[in-house]
Structure 1
Amino acid sequence: MAINQKQVLSLQQKLSPQQIQMIKLLELPTVQLEQRIKQEIEDNIVLEEEERAPEEEAPREISVEEYLREDDTPAYKSRINNYSKDDKQRPVYLSGGRSLQEYLVEQLGYRDLTEREMRLAVYLIGSIDEDGYLRRDLESVADDIAFTLGVETTTAELERLLGIIHELEPVGIGARNLQECLLLQMGQKRIDTRARRLARRILTSYFDEFVKKHYEKLIVRLQVTEEEFREAIAEIRHLSPKPGNLYSEGGTDTTPYVIPDFILDCHDGRFDLSLNSCNVPEVRVNRRYVEMIRDMVGVDGTVKEKDREALQFVKSKIDSAKWFISAIK
């Protein structure tokens, strides 16, 4: 049944700020959720990331109600505990024993390719170097295929198959140059912020200036502020110039690639599904701001006139932090 615009608006009006926050977070995969939490920490002064306690120590939970007796909001914990104290979280890696090329060929097996297309695509994958680049032009590859496999092909056919390889993981694999590599990775992101839109524009239209670090010239040409430009450059720096390095045979503690949203374990024939939150930062309300409110409020519950505005500001930030923490939980 279709929902018209009035019904959508009516539904939005009935949702609380916390519910809206939760819906927005619900659609985010693990990696983007981690980035969203870090962004909220930057935007809200009362939120802070807490260092995770050693595994042998039970994390101490602090309640804001311990300090704000006047708080009329429901009870909540002022930190996000992403671990079960009885369960050791572990990173999830690509399964071991396979080379990058074998991993790519395995992914091709899930594509609807003919036998001919599969042979050509596998040959293309074999031409990808350890950094993840296809550094040979397609015309030369076509000549090699004709000589080695005895199959006549065209650059147009190879271009189409290379486009399929570009859709495989790691993102950016099979790029022919750095610009194409970064744009392939950017294409996998949701371009839902000004910084990402600007980053894509820089990579598309001003790549030479970017590589040469003509930043002042770029700021003028793009007609943006220094802050907006820095945010765009930060987005680009999150991309990998060597996608092949994102794949580690067997995986190591320093080079994990796959970060699943869910983990499915089997115990005695029973499947347990759990959220993978091992990389999600633990967040809490900064105790200093809570104590600041306590100091502003007198013994009799009154607040000095000069402190009212500051008190209102801090309380609004704490309320926002509480909504956010509750939505994450």
Structure 2
Amino acid sequence: MIHRNAPLTPTGRLRLAQCVVEDGWPLRRAAERFQVSHTTAARWAHRYRHHGTAGLHDRSSRPHRSPRRTPTALEAQVLRRRREHRIGPLRLAARTGIAASTAHRILQRHHMPPLAACDRATGEPVRRYEHSRPGELVHIDVKKLGRIPDGGGHKKLGRAAGRKNRTGTGYAYLHTALDDHTRLAYTENLPDETAPTCAAFLTRATAWFAARGVTVQRVLTDNAWAYSKNTWRQTCQDLGISPRWTRPWRPQTNGKVERFHRTLLDEWAYQRPYTSESERQAAFPGWLDWYNYHRPHTGISGQTPASRVTNLSGQHT
């Protein structure tokens, strides 16, 4: 790759070198003609004279020898500890007696991915995927969320008073359907997560996506009891949807909806102290609308979910 400030391209270097080597121009005349220094003209002429056209391309600035490079055995030790303990450069440096910057360079030299890009359980790089069209795959999951008692919970009243006030509040079950391609989300607050409730939610979610021009083809769920019953399978069959299930103990497969629920908790459920569950639920439709239509999503290059559905952003007011 040519440096952006380089005065000569490979074509210009060839012309300069030919003027000196083949046409017999003096170096100073060639340097003045091509507006480069005398040493630059001499370098390209020398390379052309000894290596031909191939010598006019940029060369790596890496030295031929690196006598102070970290020994191979020590590099192998750093890589082994990284694989076994899944730790970063700072802790690797403490365990191997080298500088943290040296440990970082070793990891980079051997193309080791950052810990943030690795699976926590296995240490293997996370394999990301995305379906090419809306509706090809919809992720479905349930988030169990403790209800806020009237008067507020511990965030509003403090730990001691909040503990006394929470008796008998129960749980809210947030059922979410999230499109894999667009990240468009549909969520309902339901009283339980039984098979009939989940099946009825799927019917309403399918209709909601259809009203926005998205035809659901497949749904992906975990292996919860409600999703393994005949009620769920029959509902999928009636709607013309193919059901899919994640591998047991692998919630990462359904990671998009899991990540949505984490965003939901951070930006809505726990975003501020609420005085009651009804107050928190009243704030949810506005947040979900903002998420779908206005919030830049980092997983899709800063676009909004609605912008990835044909004409959907234009329909919204």
TM-score, structure 2 as length reference:
0.22
User: Larger strand proportion, structure 1 or 2?
Assistant: 2
TM-score, structure 1 as length reference:
0.21
Bigger RCO of structures 1 and 2 (CA < 8 A, at least 6 apart): 1
